[in-house]
Amino acid sequence: MSSFRMSQVAELLGVSADTVRRWCDEGKLATTRTAQGKRTIDGADLARYLTSQAKAFEPDSVMLQSARNRFTGIVIRVERDKLTAIVEIAAPPHRVVSLMTREAVDDLDLKPGDLATAVMKSTNVIVEIPAP
């Protein structure tokens, strides 16, 4: 069973450790104490909490579609060459990098500071876990 320190939960969620402590004090997240007296959050409890939260931000203009993996954020980098382009989107706590055609980037007129949604639909998803 996984358990996480307050600072780990804060880093994973992109909030301060004080915010996580406040959620725990308000009863939103259950904690247990280690032998050293430090509070930890059970991974299953954290998953339940995250499932109950509002969905990530999406602009009202986004059309309905079947893809469920959507990350809305701010374009922070656009690099073009003759045929392809790299677009990087900061969608905290995630960073999404896309390799696409230059034509697509030019058609969208993407530039740093633009609001954009990275949409992923894939049958190939790699899941990793930390080394023991």
pTM, two decimal places? 0.61
The pLDDT, as a whole number, for residue 44 is 83
Name 33's bridge partners.
39
Kindly list the distances between the CA atom of residue 2 and the CA atoms of 14, 15, 41, 46, in Å, as whole numbers in the listed order: 19, 20, 9, 10
The pLDDT, as a whole number, for residue 57 is 62
Residue pair 78/84 in contact by the 8 Å Cβ criterion:
no
- Topology of domain 3-52 in CATH is Multidrug-efflux Transporter Regulator; Chain: A; Domain 2 (1.10.1660)
- What residue spans define the domains of the chain? 3-52, 69-120
The CATH label, of 2.40.50.100, 3.40.50.150, 3.50.30.60, 3.40.50.1000, for the domain at 69-120 is: 2.40.50.100
The pLDDT, as a whole number, for residue 3 is 86
Cα–Cα dist 66/15, whole Å: 30
**pLDDT tens per residue across all 132 residues of the chain:** 588 899 988 888 888 999 999 999 999 999 999 999 999 998 888 878 877 776 666 666 656 666 677 888 889 999 999 999 999 998 877 889 999 999 999 999 999 989 888 888 777 777 777 777
